[in-house]
Structure 1
Amino acid sequence: MKQGFYSILPFAVGAAAYGFAFGVLAAQSGFPWWGVALMSVAVHAGSSQIVAVDRFAADGLLIGAVLAGVALNLRYLGIIASLGKILKDVPLRWKLLAIHITGDENWALTMARNARDPAIGIRFLIGSGLTLIVTWTVSTSLGALIGQSIPNLASYGLGFAFTAAFIAMARAMWRGRQDIAPWVVSFMVTLLLVRLELESAYAILLGSLAGVAIAAITRRFQQRRTAR
Structure 2
Amino acid sequence: MKHGVLAILPLALGAAIYGFAFGLLAAQVGFPWWGVGLMSSVVHAGSSQIVAVEQFASTQAVMGAVLAGAALNLRYIGIVASLSKVLAGLSPGLKLLAIHITGDENWALTMAERAKSPDVGAAFLMGSGVVMITAWTTSTTAGAVIGTVLPDLERFGLGFAFTAAFIAMAQSLWRGRSQMLPWAIAVAATIVVINLGLPKAYAIVVGAVCGLAMSFILRRSAGAMI
| TM-score with structure 1 setting the length | 0.72
- Counterpart residue number, 1:115: 115
- Counterpart residue number, 1:79: 79
Superposed displacement of residue 109, structure 1: 0.7
User: Where do 1:47-126 residues align within 5 Å?
Assistant: 47-126=47-126
Closer, same or farther: CA 172–73 of 1 in aligned 2, 3 Å: closer
- Counterpart residue number, 1:168: 166
Superposed displacement of residue 169, structure 1: 3.3
CA contact (8 A) 1:102 1:129 kept: yes
Superposed displacement of residue 17, structure 1: 0.1
- Of all paired residues, the percent bearing the same amino acid is 61
User: Where do 1:193-208 residues align within 5 Å?
Assistant: none
CA contact (8 A) 2:101 2:130 kept: yes
- Counterpart residue number, 1:202: none
Segments of 4+ in structure 1 off by > 4 A?
170-174
SS class of match (1:75) = helix
Q: Which amino acid aligns with 2:60?
A: G
Select between 125-134 and 54-63 the one with higher mean Cα deviation: 54-63
- Counterpart residue number, 2:147: 147
- Structure 2 unaligned spans of 5+: 173-226
Superposed displacement of residue 110, structure 1: 0.5
Cα separation, 2, equivalents of 1:83 and 1:172: 21
CA contact (8 A) 1:27 1:144 kept: yes
Q: Which amino acid aligns with 1:165?
A: T
- Counterpart residue number, 1:212: none
Show CA shifts across 1:107-134 (max 9, x none): 0110111111111100110000000000
SS class of match (2:85) = helix
Superposed displacement of residue 171, structure 1: 5.8
Structure 2 residue 19 is the aligned partner of structure 1 residue 16: no
| TM-score with structure 2 setting the length | 0.73
Number of equivalent positions: 172
Superposed displacement of residue 170, structure 1: 4.6
Cα separation, 2, equivalents of 1:170 and 1:49: 14
Cα separation, 2, equivalents of 1:15 and 1:137: 10
Cα separation, 2, equivalents of 1:63 and 1:168: 21
Superposed displacement of residue 173, structure 1: 7.2
Structure 2 residue 32 is the aligned partner of structure 1 residue 32: yes
- Structure 1 unaligned spans of 5+: 175-228
CA contact (8 A) 1:103 1:129 kept: yes
Superposed displacement of residue 150, structure 1: 1.2
Cα separation, 1, equivalents of 2:134 and 2:161: 23
Instruction: Calculate the aligned-residue CA RMSD, in Å.
Output: 1.5
Cα separation, 2, equivalents of 1:117 and 1:9: 20
Cα separation, 2, equivalents of 1:83 and 1:168: 25
